[in-house]
Structure formats: structure tokens, C-alpha cells
Structure 1
Amino acid sequence: MSPARLAAVAAAVLLAAALLRVVPGARGQEETEHEEEFSYVPGDEHGPEHWGSIKAEWAACGAGRMQSPIDLSHERVSLVRSLGYLSHSYRPAEASIVNRGHDIMVRFEGDAGSLVINGTAYYLRQLHWHSPTEHTVDGRRYDMELHLVHESAENKAAVIAVLYEIGGHDDALLRQLEPAIRRVADVRDREMRVGVVDPRRARGRASVYYRYVGSLTAPPCTEGVIWTIVKRVRSVSKHQLELLREAVHDDMENNARPLQEANHRDVSMFRPKPNKQY
């Protein structure tokens, strides 16, 4: 076996071992919806550097060794083609939109489909946005990051992250949701039905992705989350980004958690062979 193949196999084995180590609690995969208890303002008494000491159940925010987000630097990324294409099947489903104060969330009420990782199905529960991006790529931070949050029958979480930069094109999903976002703007905990939402508009068709094991990026910062970050950066219009920022509370317009230590975690990348179209 070639050295390159040995390295790929070793990376896959280490990732699988990391997945087996973590068994989150039944409700541990839910980010807190009480945004008045924490903030994203550096130096604030409720800021990111203090999240771990605000509540006992948030201790992982300060003491955890597998926290997210991280920088996806090329030095720690290994190409692992055995990861394969993302196996997901999304479908339109009834949904509501919620202003959680620290972000805008779309909660699916029906079956919006699932993502399969290592034979386990993770069902799409909700999606929400952060601005600017929480993950960075070789130190570069983009304008917005969408999180599609999935949960398995065993209450383990998997999140697909899509990065955006301001460009000349509207994002199709946000275009559909703009009227609803305006109606829930500046009203914390207001929830309204938005009819059928198609999550396929959010996922896109890009094949190349990063994969690592981390945590929720807001309290309680539960670890054991399988992260998939799509490499292709998508476009969002400036007015859509401003709409999301203005809808949340004033001190939450920048709702990106600072980068966390990688602590020697492996980051894998899937990329099809060169003769494939992607």
C-alpha cells in the first residue's frame, strides 16, 4: 500500500474513533434559546470567553477540548476519498421561523429529509445563520455561514455548514424567507409559520467538503457534533445579509463565536477524482 493510501486510511480510522467516543445527552444537541444569558461581545461579562462559567451545564464552552468553530488550515487537512459523496435526501416540508434574539432560525415541523453518515441517519431539524462566518479557511473569514442542523434517533448531532460571501446574486432560500424575516425582526421568541420550505435550496450541489468532530458553536457547546463544511463558497446579496443582521438584537449582529483551538484534531476532506464533474 502506498504512503498516500496509508495516510488516508489512518485519517479515516481516527475520525471513526472520534465519532465513537462521544455520546451527547438527550437534549444536549439543542443550542440555548435564552440569548439574554450570553453575548458575542468580546470582553463583555457574558461574552464568549465567559460562556463556560455562566452555567454549570455550559462548562464545555470553556473546558471542552473538541470545540467549534476552528480554522480549516491546509496543514491539518487530509484528503480522504473514502468519505464519499454526501448522502442526503432533502424534501420540502412545513416550517416556522423563529427570532431567537441571537439568530434567525427556520424550524422544520414536517419531515425535511436526512443526511446519512457512517450508516446513521441524521434528520434535518432546523437551519440558522451566523454573520460573519464562524469557520475560517486558511485564516480567511467570509461574510455569512448557514448551519443545517441534523439529529439522529440517538440524539447525536450533525451539522452541514455553507459559507457565503457578498456577491451579485441573491440567495434563493433567503429570497423566499425575506417577508417572514421582516415580520419577526426585533421581536425575540416570536415564531410564525412560513409554509413549505425546500432545504434543497440551501444545500446546493457542491461535492467537495471538510469533515471533523467538534461542538455546537453556542451554549451549551455540546461536543460530539459531526461537522461537514462545504468548500464551495456561495453568494448572498448585501441587502439579504443586512436583513439578517438587523433582525436580531443590536449586540448580536455579529453572531460568530471566536475560533477555538484545534487540539490536534484531524480534518478530512472529500474531493472526487479529477475525472469527475464537481
Structure 2
Amino acid sequence: MCMGSSTRSMLLLLLILSPISIYAQEVQDEREFDYEKGSGKGPEQWGKLHKEWSACNNGKMQSPIDLSNKRVDVVRTSKKLLRNYKPCTAIIINRGHDIEVYWEGDAGSIEINGTTYALKQAHWHSPSEHTINSKRYSLELHLVHKSIDPTSKHQIAVIGVLYKIGKPNPFLSKLGQNITSLVNQENKHRHPGVIDPREIHMSCRRYYSYIGSLTVPPCTEGVIWTISKKVRTVSLDQVKLLRDAVQDHAEKNARPLQPDHKRGIRLFGP
């Protein structure tokens, strides 16, 4: 069941004012860091800005990484990634460096290795943060999930979807008017009503999987990453809108590639 108006208002206040997201430990006030090299707050400095962010510089399981064929172990399987999403009311928030869709109630879940992860939010990075065989794409969507079991080893699971320039993305097309209304409105939000995450098209048959981190401070490690191998399309105007809407005036909001430290990367599919 989705939340009522009073609960929604309180949750939104917490989301905007709290420095750490209550659902996935991401920094919510994105004014504390940026993506500009040499700015003093860029990726090379993230781990020095707060002691709680030290993993950004010192971690050994950081994301994003290059998904290189030379490093990938192919796992032949007919099993698809198990998704069970459902429509729910959502908020669209301008976080300063990205646009976020936050589902206010039960928007469904995914299942990984027997653990259920509830869908919490989605946001976009441009260009893509992950690369495939050193190729960087125009956009990357992250669907962030939180384990419903507080004792599970991995508390966060993120699905990544890559996009190249081409036909407009239908999901972004539906959100376009709301995103346009958030241009240069940092920490502002819109209530578009119900947003159906099932309308985010992705391939569940072939996907990469590895253990990494959040790609924004505090760069929490132990995140299960699932990257759909099928690259979708997005229009140039849609990518431009996502960048124009935020106030950082930067050309990108993508963290540089991180060392893989010989981590296992698997490619599941038939």
C-alpha cells in the first residue's frame, strides 16, 4: 500500500534535509560534492571531504568499472533476473547533480540469490558510469533496491541500464514535463502521481553481475550490481534535459572508472 499525504510530507522532509539517504545510504544533499576535477570537491577528493566517505578513496570494491570480456566469466543459464515491480505513487526530486524518482510505498522488488530487495528509487547519470569493453554510452539509469532482511550480507542491490542516442526513451518521455518543471529548482520536487517501474524496459535474460559500491558518496561497498547487457536508446534532447535540469552546470555527473582489483564479473544468459 502506498503512503498517505501526511506520511508523504514527513518522508519528503526527511529526504531533503537528511545528509544521508534513509533508504540506501546515498548522500541526499548533493551540494557537498561535485564531478569537476580540481574543484576541491571532485571525485578525487570525495574520500577526504568527510571521514564517513573514506571508502571513496580507500575502498577496494568501488564502482563503476569496465565490464571487459577479458575479465568476464560467462554463466550459461535460462533463468531470468526475477523482477516483481508494481505501480506506486512517487516523487520526482532535483537533487542537485541528478534527477531522482522516489517511490513512496511498495513499488515491488527483485530477487537475487534468494534475497528480496525492495525498489526504492531511480536516477540517471550521463554519460554512463559503467563501460562495456571500454565503450562509454550516453546515459545510465540506476534502480536502487534495499534488502527487506536487515541481516543479509548485501543490503543494497542496483540494476543499471545503459542507453545510446537514438529513439526517445518512453519512460523518460512520460516524465519529461515534470523534469522540465524542475529545471534549476534544486531540492525541489514534483508529485506526478503513480509511476509504474514496469515501464522501464530492460533485458532480464543477459546481464552482468559483480560486487561493488555506490557511485556517489559515501561510496558504500558490498553493493550487488546487475547491469543489463542490452543497450537501450534515448534521445539527445532527453539526455540534455536531465543535465539542464540540475544546477551543477557540469557537462557530466558520472564518476570515473575505478580499479577492479581482480573482482569476479559474471555474465549470465542463455
Q: Which structure 1 segments of 5+ residues have no match?
A: 1-24, 273-278
What secondary structure does 1:75 align onto? coil
The change in CA–CA distance for 1:26 and 1:224 in structure 2 (over 3 A counts) is farther
Partner residue, 1:98: 93
Partner residue, 2:254: 256
Partner residue, 1:73: 68
Partner residue, 1:34: 29
Moved over 6 A (4+): none
The change in CA–CA distance for 1:211 and 1:87 in structure 2 (over 3 A counts) is same
- Partner amino acid for 1:58? W
1:129-160 CA-partner distances (Å, limit 9, x unpaired): 00000000010000000000000124510000
Partner residue, 2:38: 43
What secondary structure does 2:243 align onto? helix
TM-score by length of 1: 0.85
- Partner amino acid for 2:118? Y
What secondary structure does 2:262 align onto? coil
Please give the root-mean-square deviation of Cα atoms over the aligned residues, in Å: 1.7
- Partner amino acid for 2:254? A
Pairwise CA distance, 1:82: 5.2
Pairwise CA distance, 1:205: 3.9
User: Do structure 1's residue 124 and structure 2's residue 123 form an aligned pair?
Assistant: no
Pairwise CA distance, 1:207: 1.4
- Partner amino acid for 2:128? T
1:95-118 CA-partner distances (Å, limit 9, x unpaired): 010000010000001211100001
1:52-107 CA-partner distances (Å, limit 9, x unpaired): 00001001001100000000001110012359310111111110100000100000
Corresponding residue pairs, total: 247
Give matches, 1:222-233, under 5 Å. 222-233=220-231
User: Do structure 1's residue 244 and structure 2's residue 242 form an aligned pair?
Assistant: yes
1:179-217 CA-partner distances (Å, limit 9, x unpaired): 100111111110121111111121434511000000000
What secondary structure does 1:150 align onto? strand
Instruction: Give the fraction of aligned pairs with identical amino acids, expressed as a percent.
Output: 51
The change in CA–CA distance for 1:270 and 1:217 in structure 2 (over 3 A counts) is same
The change in CA–CA distance for 1:29 and 1:250 in structure 2 (over 3 A counts) is closer
The change in CA–CA distance for 1:117 and 1:206 in structure 2 (over 3 A counts) is closer
In structure 1, C-alpha distance between the alignment counterparts of 2:240 and 2:234, rounded to whole Å: 10
Q: Which structure 2 segments of 5+ residues have no match?
A: 1-19
TM-score by length of 2: 0.88
Partner residue, 2:216: 218
1:224-252 CA-partner distances (Å, limit 9, x unpaired): 10000000000001111111010012444
Give matches, 1:171-190, under 5 Å. 171-190=169-188
What secondary structure does 2:136 align onto? coil
- Partner amino acid for 2:107? A
More helix by share: 1
The change in CA–CA distance for 1:253 and 1:109 in structure 2 (over 3 A counts) is farther
What secondary structure does 1:235 align onto? strand
Alignment match of 1:57 (pick from 19, 42, 52) = 52
In structure 2, C-alpha distance between the alignment counterparts of 1:138 and 1:254, rounded to whole Å: 21
Alignment match of 1:146 (pick from 141, 146, 171) = 141
